[in-house]
Amino acid sequence: MPDRIARAVMESSCRQAMNLYLVGCDQKNIDMLLRAFAPDAVWERPGMAPMNGHSDIRSFFEAIYEKHAKTTTHGHLTRHCLTTISVTPSTEGHAECIAYATVYRDPAFNGTLPAAMPEPELVVEYRDVFRQVDDTWLIWRHRAAHIFRSTRWGQQLSSDELSTLRLASPGQN
C-alpha cells in the first residue's frame, strides 16, 4: 500500500476508534467502547490511578453504572461531542492523537427525551497513542485532562470506591 494511502487509512482508523470509544461511553455499551482499545491499553484519568487493560476499564465502567443504578432509574444522560482531532504518525506501527471533546450531561435523567439542554460540563483534552493491530488501529495509551470544568462536575466514583477497584490515585486513602 503506498505511504499516503497507508497514512490516510491510519488517520481514519484512529478517528473512528475515538468516535467508537465516545459513542460507546454514551450508549453505556462497555463491549462497544472496549473495541476501540488494545487489550493492553493504559488509560489515565484525572484523580485516579491508571487503568491497565480491558479488565480494569470494564470494572471501572461497571462500577459507575452500578452506582448510578442505585440512585437513578435511567443513569446519567451523557453526550461526548468530539471536535478537534489531530492524528500524526510516530514510531513504526504507532500514531499520536490530540483531541478535544465537549461533554454534556444530565445526572438526573428521567428517561424522557429530549432532556433540558445543560451547559457544557467539561472540555476534555485527550492525548492518545494508537497501536496498529492487523489492519486496524487501536487506542494503546489514553490520557484525559480536563481543560474546562463546570462546578457541577463530580468524580464518578469516590476514593473508597476507587480503592475497591485498586484504582485510587497514590495520594488517596
Partner 1 sequence: MLAANARVQIELACTQLLNAYTLAIDAMDWNALDRIFVPDAIFQRTNMVPLRGCGQIKDFFQTLATKRLALGTAHRTCHQLTTTLIMPADALQATGVAYVLVMRTPDLHTLPAPMTDPEILIEYHDAFRATEDGWRICDHSARHIFRSVAFKEPLTAEEAARLKPAV
Contact string 52-81 vs partner 1 (x = CB under 8 A) = -------------------------x-xxx
Could you tell me the maximum CA-CA distance found in the chain, to the nearest angstrom? 54
> Can you tell me the distance from the alpha carbon of 55 to that of 13, in angstroms, rounded to the nearest whole number?
23
104: contact with partner 1 by CB under 8 A: yes
Q: Which stretch binds partner 1 (CB under 8 A): 63-71, 117-125, 146-154, 161-169?
A: 117-125
Return the exposure string of 52-79: e unless at least 16 CB atoms fall within 10 Å of the residue's CB, then b. eebebbebbbebbeeebeeebeebbbbe
> Can you tell me the distance from the alpha carbon of 3 to that of 104, in angstroms, rounded to the nearest whole number?
38
82: contact with partner 1 by CB under 8 A: yes
Residue 112: all three cell numbers together: 424522557
> Can you tell me the distance from the alpha carbon of 39 to that of 121, in angstroms, rounded to the nearest whole number?
30
Contact string 5-24 vs partner 1 (x = CB under 8 A) = x--xx--xx--x--xx-xx-
165: contact with partner 1 by CB under 8 A: no
119: contact with partner 1 by CB under 8 A: yes
117: contact with partner 1 by CB under 8 A: yes
The sign one gets for the Cα dihedral 67, 26, 109, 123 is positive
By the 10 Å C-beta count (0-12 exposed, 13-18 middle, 19+ buried), 94 is classed as middle
97: contact with partner 1 by CB under 8 A: no
* C-beta closer to partner 1: residue 12 or 71: 12
> Can you tell me the distance from the alpha carbon of 153 to that of 105, in angstroms, rounded to the nearest whole number?
9
> Residues in contact with partner 1, total (CB under 8 A)?
30
* C-beta closer to partner 1: residue 116 or 147: 116
Q: How far is the CB of 153 from partner 1 (least distance, A)?
A: 16
Residue ranges that bind partner 1, judged by CB under 8 A: 1, 5, 8-9, 12-13, 16, 19-20, 22-23, 77, 79-83, 101-102, 104, 106, 113-119, 135-136
